[in-house]
Structure 1
Amino acid sequence: MLLALFAAVAPVAAGHAQARGGALPEAPAASYRGQSFPQQRTPIEQLPLGGQAEILRLETLLDQAYAGLTASPTAAVFPPILAEAVAQAAEQAAAVEPTWNQDAYRREAAFYAAEEARRHPAKPQR
């Protein structure tokens, strides 16, 4: 499953700016239908030079899912093509900046996947 791939990338390495000082800073939260989820968006000047483009792509794709979430209560949130693009972007970001913590992105993507499943349940096969 795509989320399994997404969940496997980008642990925080010791010594990285995000790993120093113990606990990671809390990602800003968004909410929908009484549920909150992280929505980390990083100012460009705080992005690592080596992974700027890849991390921005990942955050942009997650913004597309958020737009679907808030467009209407029946709009597609995380269709397979977008979920695949997010997983690929996460993998690419981890490849160029392996110490960048992607936990907030994984949790946000999981929220969108769950909402997509709620809105558009899989049809039983005959």
Structure 2
Amino acid sequence: MKNIFLHTKHTLNITPFYNRNVEFAKFDEFSKKWNVKVRNGNSDEMEEYFCKFLVVATGEASYPFIPDVPGLASFTGDAFHSTQYINGEKFKGKNVLVVGCGNSGMEIALDLLIMVANTSIIVRSSVIN
């Protein structure tokens, strides 16, 4: 994943800002821009951004949920929610099943492949109509 991040940052000129909480977002009809105010979690200072487009990408994983799967309690391998995933180093050469093909699932599956894990992914329904 490091190579992908570096590619995004340097080639596409995207610089992520971490540890920010959106406090306010409003579209201004006159300027045709979004006014977004965020609180910096490191300094507690307010930051203000003006942008032509606003993409809300909080995802469903904001509230981690692991369904009650029969047999999961007696499973001897690692089973955890994507919010607990750090990287695929410890899975090198191991069989890993990723459940779900949302952004997190796909990124984790890619990272596991890069780390040379034997990766499979299962999906609830077709992604092609």
Give the TM interval when normalised to the shorter protein.
under 0.3
Structure whose residues are more often helix by fraction: 1
- Using structure 2 for the length normalisation, give the TM-score: 0.27
- Using structure 1 for the length normalisation, give the TM-score: 0.27
Structure whose residues are more often strand by fraction: 2
Higher relative contact order (CA 8 A, sep 6+): 1
Look at both structures and tell me which one has the larger radius of gyration over its CA atoms.
2
